Amino acid sequence: MNHTVQQLLLAAVVVLPLLGSAAALLPAPPGLRGRGPDQAVLRHGVTVTAVVLAAAIALAAGFDHGHPARMQAQTDIGWIPALDIRVHLGVDGVSLPLLVLTALLTFLCALYTYFNRPSGPSPKAFVALLLLLESGTLASFAVLDLMLFFLAFEMVLIPMYFLINRWGGAERERAAWRFILYTLLGSVVMLLGLLLVGLEGGTFDMVALAADKGSGLSHTTQLIAALAIIVGLAVKAPMWPLHSWLPDAHTAAPTVGSVLLAGVLLKMGTYGLVRIVLPMTPEAAHTYAPYLAAFAVVGIIYGSLACLALARTGAKGDLKRLIAYSSVGHMGFVLLGIATLTPTGVNGALFANIAHGLITGLLFFLVGALKDRSGTTDLDQLAGTSGAALYGRAPRLGGLLAFGAVASLGLPGLAGFWGEMLAMFGAFDPADGLSRPAFLTYMALAGFGTLLTAAYMLVVVRRVCMGDQPIEPGTGTGAGRPALADVHGHEFAAWSPLVALTVLAGLWPAALLGLTDPAVQQLLAGGNR
């Protein structure tokens, strides 16, 4: 594809949601209002996100797959010459899959919202915030300047805060405040590290800093800067013990807020580790890698045990909260893969990022639909004494929930398997200089975490999908639970791409690994594996 066309496509992917966000606040033209202004603005959200998704797919189709390590579609324009801050955009094999995933999930959320109008204030503000969130997230994966990365990183916080606070469920204000306070404090610390890297390195250009491999930074500078950046990114990842904002935010957020929070926003933290910390502060990354791996493994075990506690009978566990804690465990595998500092581990981390976005996004869609139908996500209320019998009451919904559960537990042949396996393979043979006995211990603990994951997911499937078959009330037998509405057409349209991509990535992992591996090799300066 022509370089100019690539530049325009990448610029459109980043800028169109921002323009669409501003346009959503304007009155709809009379001829486009349909049944009213609310429908018009919801249709506007679907249209803008569809155009952005089309541009992202076109960018991926025109991407030079023979050279995924090379930064492509670059735009480099001076912005603040006094500080050498530039509007520098580009994509490679690391960022391209995340761009497409973000565009896809946001479009599916807009489509879902069109048919399931969010309960709360005017949809006009909801759509504007959704598009602003998309623009900031896409920019985070596309910018190649440290200061622009920070601005894009911050840009997503306010929209997500309002989505939780204005359209969320119970205790939404408390959850929104915890979200904004944790992430803002982490961002302030991260900014100090980014400034230190840019000022000491002589440039804020991420490509140039990665090419220097930290040569312009002393060992002490690398340690201080990397620690600040890791802390800031770890809050967003989220890494134990900086994760405590996440369950509350997920439980209170509206369905599409939970989908985007889990499917996209968490990836910004781990992406920053791969894009910034590993190539720009390699000595510090090597120093902190064992500690990062230890925190990751604790997160895997802790998240799984928390899910088991929520899943047991009588715990009054919330299904959305359970999936949120499962994200702590799954993102622990991502952090473990990054901490190995090997191409195998980092590729596994990037694969697990995409798999988690697809699978957890699907699970939050399904739990949202279940709440719409039953009025609750409390496992004890759903299951009663013998199980919620979703297979009998809404068989397609029950089947999709079971599919999401087995994909989340890492069943071979589905996307969740490869990332976790590669992360553990990386821990089996970590980079030179790292303690192999320590990483073998981490690998064994992570493997035990996969067993715990299988345990709580199967408990959820048993309690929600199985149970007594529903009957018509008044027949004199059975539990008499009413049937639930099964999957609607618009829900099938929103969820089927996630199911298809979960299967495709599981059966053909080379499609994604072929993109990420050359780029990872280059970021790690060729690696040693």
Give the pLDDT band of residue 263 (cuts 50, 70, 90): confident
Say whether pLDDT at 36 is over 50. yes
Q: What percent of the chain has pLDDT over 90?
A: 44
How high does pLDDT run on average in the chain? 86
Which amino acid is present at 370? Answer: L
- Non-local CB neighbours of 217 within 8 Å, separated by 6+ positions: 197, 200, 201, 225, 280, 281
Please tell me whether the peptide bond between 241 and the residue prior to it is cis, using omega within 30 degrees of 0: yes
CB-neighbour burial class of residue 215 (10 A; exposed 0-12, middle 13-18, buried 19+): exposed
Please tell me whether the peptide bond between 68 and the residue prior to it is cis, using omega within 30 degrees of 0: no
Contact yes or no for 324/250 (Cβ under 8 A): yes
Give the pLDDT band of residue 274 (cuts 50, 70, 90): very high
Q: Which two tokens stand for residue 16?
A: 């169109």
- The CA R_g of the chain, rounded to the nearest whole Å, is 23
- The three state secondary structure string of 88-122 is EEEECCCCHHHHHHHHHHHHHHHHHHHHCCCCCCC
Q: Tokens 């001076």 belong to which residue?
A: 78
User: For residues 378 and 448, which has the higher predicted lDDT (pLDDT)?
Assistant: 448
pLDDT tens readout for residues 296-309: 999 999 999 999 99
pLDDT tens readout for residues 50-82: 999 999 999 999 888 888 888 888 888 888 787
Say whether pLDDT at 293 is over 90. yes
pLDDT tens readout for residues 108-133: 999 998 888 877 778 888 999 999 99
Contact yes or no for 419/353 (Cβ under 8 A): yes
Give the pLDDT band of residue 34 (cuts 50, 70, 90): low
pLDDT tens readout for residues 505-523: 999 999 899 889 999 988 8
| Mean pLDDT of all residues in 180-204 | 88
Residue 282: CA count within 13 A, CB half-sphere: 20
pLDDT confidence of residue 313 = 82
d(CA 30, CA 459): 52
Give the pLDDT band of residue 478 (cuts 50, 70, 90): very low
The model's pTM is 0.91
pLDDT tens readout for residues 140-178: 999 999 999 999 988 888 899 998 888 877 778 888 888
Give the pLDDT band of residue 421 (cuts 50, 70, 90): very high
